[in-house]
Amino acid sequence: MNIPTPSFERAAAAAADRLSLRASRAGLVDVAVGAVDSPLGTLTVGVTPRGLVRLAYGDEDLVLEDLARRVSPRVLSFPKLVDPVRRQLDRYFAGRLHDFDLPIDWRLTAPGFTRKVLRATARIPFGSLRTYAQMASRAGSPRASRAAGNALGSNPIPIVVPCHRVVHSGGGLGGYTGGLYRKEHLLTLEGVLEDG
């Protein structure tokens, strides 16, 4: 049985990087993807020439299939293009970054009300909370808090577009696509909830 040596693995990784770089320079990569380790589990990140298009918890294969279907079949693992997102996420989880400075590619959000809700959500400051009703109002439909919740539930870029900062008017946390424990973790990290 042949067991790859560390030098073989480094050479293979270097070759993959060169191939990815060539494909990118030739305009053959529409979506660069990579995995980012976080306290909430591995995150799958997708970046287009326009900006961050996807940040997802869960099954990487499903995320890649969705990106190939909805954005472009030209999806390639290219960690170097994902590095700016990874660096900012690392700083955020370490408590050293409060405002993400990343271009966003909004194409996976439905135009109209949903996109308005998510754009307004992207402006919620670190450590602050808003209600579903407030987000509906900011999107131009004050009585559409349930629709605002649905819009937030479809957020393709959680954490960076901080839907975890939106809660029920009565004080309940509401839902979260990544699971309520992740929402609690993020709000604790931001000092909104007490650790415990």
The residues carrying an active-site annotation are 163
- Measured CA to CA, the distance from residue 175 to residue 112 in angstroms comes to 22
Q: Which two tokens stand for residue 71?
A: 């954005």
Backbone torsions φ then ψ of 181, nearest 5 degrees: -65, -30
Backbone torsions φ then ψ of 53, nearest 5 degrees: -110, -25
Q: At what angle do helices 113-122 and 145-153 cross, to 10 degrees?
A: 70
- Measured CA to CA, the distance from residue 97 to residue 68 in angstroms comes to 31
Q: Which two tokens stand for residue 181?
A: 């424990």
Backbone torsions φ then ψ of 91, nearest 5 degrees: -65, -40
- Measured CA to CA, the distance from residue 37 to residue 44 in angstroms comes to 9
